A and B are shown apart, each in its own frame.
Chain A
Amino acid sequence: MSNSVPLTLAEARDALKARKISSKELTSALVQGIAQSRGLNAFVTETPERALAMAAASDARLAKGEGGALEGLPLAIKDLFCTKGVKTTAGSRILGNFVPPYESTVTQNLWNAGAVMLGKTNLDEFAMGSSNETSAAGPVFNPWRAKNSNANLVPGGSSGGSAAAVAGDLCLAATGTDTGGSIRQPAAVTGIVGIKPTYGRCSRFGIVAFASSLDQAGPMTKTVRDAAILLGSMASVDPKDSTSMDVPVPDYEKQMEGGIKGLRVGIPKEYRIDGVPADIGGLWDKGAAWLKAQGAQIVEVSLPHTKYALPTYYIVAPAECSSNLARYDGVRFGHRTSGSVHDITELYEKSRAEGFGAEVQRRILIGTYVLSAGYYDAYYARAQKLRTLIKRDFDKAFESCDVLLTPTTPGPAFGVGEKTSDPVSMYLNDVFTVTVNLAGLPGLSVPAGLTENGLPLGLQLIGKAFDEGTVLRAGLAIEQAAQFQHKPANWWRAA
C-alpha cells in the first residue's frame, strides 16, 4: 500500500469489513505518511507503536467477525482531548509534560468503537485562535497553496493540525473542538467537512476547557457521510458532564439519506456583509441554487443581531477562559517556574507568565477585567443578554425554515503571519461561525468550490438544536452538487 491513503472513512470501513485490507496495512501506511509529512507540523505527538498495537487488536476482532462501528479505522486526535498515558499539551507550554491519568469521554467512545489512534494534532494554544499560529509547538501549514505560489498558508484554527492531517490524507478523519468556529473555519479553508454538533451532544469531560458554555467536540472528515459516521460514535450522554444531554443518538448515516425535497432553507440577509470577496457571495448563491434544484424551497430570513455576535463572544469567551485557566498554578501539574520566588503569589505569577503565550494572556486579562468588580454588569451581564437576543433571532428564523445556508468564512486561507499583529482582524474570521456557538446550535461546513486562486471555500449549514440529521442531509445535497474532488498538490512529503 502506498503511504498516501486517499480513502474515506466509509470506504476504509467497508474494505476492512470485507477483509480486502487489514487495519495493520492501513495504519502502517498512515504512520509512514505522517513521518514523511512533518513539514506540515500537523502533529504534536505521534503514537505509532500504540497505533500499530490497536490495529493488531482490531484485525484480531475483525477476523472473528466482531468489531465496533469504527473497528480498525485510524484517526488523529486534537491535542485538546486528554488521552490516558499520552502527553496532552493543548498547544501550550503551561501544561509542561502533562500526561493525563484519565481519558476524555469522546476519545474513550472512539476506542470503544474500535478506532485506532495515530497521534495528537497541533492546535492554537488552548484552542484560542483562527490560524493555528498561537501554538507553543509552532504553526501548522495548510496543505493547500495558491496557484503558482510557494507561500505557506495557515490551515485555519484552532483545529488546524486536525484539518491539515485530514486534507493531506495523513489520517482517515480527525476530532476537533469548536468554541467560535474552530472546527468549521479550518475545515472550510482546507477543503474538508467539519461539524460542530449541538451544545450537549458530545461530552466535554476530559477536553481541556476554554469557554465551557461554548465548547463542543465534533468530527473533521473527508465527506459528509464520514462526519455522520464519526459523530455517531463521538456523541453520548455522560454522567461526568452535567451539560451533556440525555437524548438518544440517532443513526446519522441513515438520517442524512432521503433527499431534500420540500426542505425549507433560510438565507439570512445579515450575512451579506461588506468587505467579503465576490467569490464568497457567488458561491453562496450557487449553494442556494443547488439546493433549490434538488427540490428545496429557499426563503429569506433575518437574524438582526448578527453583527453583535463577535463582540459578544469576545466578552463571554475570555470571561470563561479567565476562570477556567485559573487552575494552572504551577503547583499540581504543568509548568512551574524555575526562577527564584519569594512567596506563593510570585510562584503563580511567574509560572503563568512563562507558561501562557501572548494571545492567551491577552484573553485572560480581558476576561479578568470584564468580570472584575464594577464592570460585570457593563460587560458580562450585557453580553449574556445579547446572547439571549441572538438565540431568539434563530428561534424566530426557524419558524419559517428548517435549516440555514451561509458561507463558512469571510475568505480563503491567508498567509502565515498576515494577521497576527491585529487581534480584531484575526477575530473577524469567525464572523459567520460564532453565532452558532452563542446559540448552541449544530453547524456543518462542506467544501463547495475554489477561489480564482485555487483555494478551497466552504458553505455552512445551521440547524435546530439536536437536529444534526437535517443539517447532514442538506450538507450531503451540497456535497453531491458541488462535486468537490480537488486535492492539494503534494509538495510537503519527504521522499
Chain B
Amino acid sequence: MLDRTADPRMRRTPYGPPDAVERLAAALPGRLRDALPPVIRTGSPWPVRVDVLLEDGLSEDDVDAWVPGVSVLGAGGDALDVAVRDGRVVGVRGRAADRVNHGRLDPREGDAWRRRSGRLTRPLVRDGDRLVEATWDEALDRVAGRSRELLAGPGGWGRIGFHTGGRLFLEEHYTLAVIGKAGIGTPHMDGDTRWQAAAASAALAESFGADGQPGTWTDVDHCDAVALWGHDAASADPVLWERVLDRRLGPGPPAVVAVDARDSAVTREADVHLAPRAGTNVALMNALLHELIAGNRYDPAYLAQHATGFAELCRVVEAYPAKRAAEICGLPACDIERAADVLGSAERLLSTVGPGFHRSNQAVAAACQVHNLHLLRGMLGRPGAGVLQLGGPPSGRNALETGAAGDLPGLRNWANPRHVRELADLWNVEPSVIPHWGPSTHATQIFRYAEEGSVGLLWITASDPVGAVPGLDRVLSRPDVFVVVQDPCLTDTARLADVVLPAAAWGERTGTVTSADRTVHLCEKAVEPPGEARPDLAILLDYARRMGFADRAGGPLVHWHDAESAFEAWKACTKGRPCDYTGITYERLRAGGVQWPCAPSGSHGTERLYAGGRFATSAGQCQTFGHDLATGADYGDERPEDPAGRALLHAADYEPSPEVVDEDHPLVFTTRRLPVRPAPITEASPQQGHGPGLEVHPSDAAVLGLGEGDLARVESPLGSIEARVRLSGTRPGLVVLPLPAGGDEALARAAAHLTATGWDPVARQPLRTVAAVRLSAVNGAGGARPGLGPMAVAPMTPLPAADPGVPATAGGPAEPSDRFEEV
C-alpha cells in the first residue's frame, strides 16, 4: 500500500518532467545556457514550497534577522535562513531561491538548530581525575607544549593523530589538513567519514578515478526511473524523497525500484521492491547485470569508447543468472527479472545508493556494481541519468576533499609524485614533509596506534567517537595518550580528555559546506557563541601560531586569518583538480549555491560530471591507482595500464558475509532508522513515549512461540538486547530493530555492538548493519543476563510495545507556488 500519508504536512507539490527542449538546454554547459533565449526555461520545474520551522508561538514577523545557513542534517545541503530573535536562534526557513531544496526543509531541521543545553563556555584542562576551567592560553599552551615534546623525539610526526567529525566547515577542514600534513607531517588523519562515507567515496574513486557524485538533485526532474539501492531516502534524505514523490504524483511519473532488506516508506512506494537477504547485494547486482547483458539491453558503443573491463565483467556475471541469485538472495527470480526490465528500459535512470549498500558485506564492490549498471547503459552525465552515492554527515564531503579525513587535499593521489610536488609548491615546504609513503591511516588504525602507545596525542574535533568504537574509552583513558577534544558540548569523549576546547556551533561562525551533489553553500554567523567558545577555525589558527609552523622561506605555513581568506587558500589548492573551486567566491555564494567544478571562466558550476564520457581515471588526474576490491591491496604505482580517461568496470564475485546465519544463530538482525514525524520546536522530543518494537515476521514468531508485544531477547555472538516483538517484517528470517531518530542512544549503541564485526578492505571501514542472531522469549520482566563475548557491553534495554496506530495526518491541497528559476 502506498504510504503517501506518512508525510505529516501533506503539502505535496506534484510536477512533471521538463519537456525535450528544456532537457536539451539542461545538458548544456552553464555558459551556453546563459546564451539561450529566455523563452527556453533552464530552471527546475519542481515548485517552490517554503517550509518554516519556528519555535512555538513565533511567526515570521517576530524574527529580527534571517541569516543564510545550510542544513546540518544528512548529505542534502538544503539551503535555509536561520531566524534570529534577541540574539538567539529561534528557527529556520527553507530558502526558496536555492537549487537544492526550493524552500523545503527536513522536518528535523528546526530541532537541530536549537542551542543545546550544556554548552561549553570555557576551556577545560585535566587536573588529576577532574576537568577544571582554564584560560585559552593555559589550554592551548598545554596542547602546543605536548605537541612540541612529541615532535622532538624520533618519528615525532607519527605520535600525533587527528580524528574529525562532520561538523567543521570546509575552511576548517582545510586548515586542519594543512596543519596535519605540512605542519606536523602525520598520515594519521581520519574522522567520522570513515564510518559513513568511506565506501561511497572509495567506490566513486575506483570506478571514475576520483571522488565526487556524477549526478545532481535535478536529475530527479528529468529521470524516467529512480533506483534506490539500500537507501531509505524517506528517513535519511526527506527533501530528496519529497522531490521523488512529487514527480510520482505529477504527469509522466518515474518508475521506482527499491532494493532494501528492510521495509520502509520507500519500499512501499516502489513499483519493484527487492528485499535481498542481508549481505548479498553483490549477488543481486551481478544478476541484474547478467540480465541486462543477456537481454542485450546495454550500450556497446558507450562501453567501447568510455569504459574498460567489459570482458571480465561479462565473465564474472555470467555465473549469476536470476535463478542462482534468487537462491543466494532469497528472492523470487521473477522479481529480479522485473527489476532488470525497468532498469533496462529506462531512458534516463537515476540511482541513489545508501547505507544498505555502503555498510553491508562487500560494500565498495556492491556500490561499484551500481556504477557498472550505469556505464553499461550509458546512463551518466546527462539530465536524468546519474548516480548519487549518499552517505555521511553534512560537510563530510569537505573532510574528504580537503584531506582532513584520508587522502591528500584536492582529491590528490599519494602515489603520484607530481601531486605531492604540487602541494609542496603550494605550501612551500619540502615534499618529504608531506606523508605520502602510503595511504593515510584509517580511524580504526589510529586508535590502535594509540592503544599500542605509538600515537601519544589524539586530537578529536567535532566528534564523539567513544559512542561508536567499542573499547575506545579504555584507550583514551590511558595516561600516555594526551587527548584534546574540541567540541561545542561536553561529550562522552570530552569527559576523557586532557584538554577540552569549547567550539562555536553552526550559526555562530562563518564557513562553507559542500553537499553530496557538489553544491557549495555559505553558512554565515547569526549569533555569538556562548561564553568564551571560539570558532574551530580560530582555535586551529591559534594552535598553528603557537606551534610556529613555517614554510621554507620562514613565513607562516598557515597564512590565512579568517574564513574567507582560508577559502581563498583552499581555492588555490583545487586548481586543476576534479574539485575545482577556483571560480567560486563568497560573493557568488551569497547569491546561492554553486556546484564544483567551477573554473573562473564560467559563471556557473558544473551540474553533472563526466558529460562527455571522459572520466578522471588518467594517471595524471586520478585520485587513486585503484585497489583489489577483495583484499584492499593497493596497486600504487604498479597499476598494469592507464585507463586514460575511461571508467573502470570492476567485476566482483559474491562472497558470503562472515555474518552468515548458522544453526546457532539462524536469523539475520539489522537496524533501521525511523522516519521522522516533524514537530514544532519544543523542548520535548516527539519520539518519546512510543516506539515501535522489534519487527519479527509472523512465521518466525510462530515457530518461536512469540506473540505481539512479548519481550524477546536478540543474541548475536557479540552481545544481546531485549525488545518487544511486533509482528510485521519484510521477510521470514529477518529481524529488524527500528531506531527512532534522536531516540534511545544506549539502545542504538547496543545494536551497534551486536553487529560490529565486518570490515570493508577497500573503504577500510567497519561494517555494522547485519548480524546472525537467535531470538528467544524472555519469561518474566527483563531478566538481565551478562553479555556473551569479550565485547559485549550491550545494556538490556526493553522497548515499549508498539503504538497500535499513529493516526495519519490529514492532508490538504498543495499550496500554490512559483516555478523555481536558477539565480
A and B held together in a complex = no
Residues of A within 8 A of B (CB): none
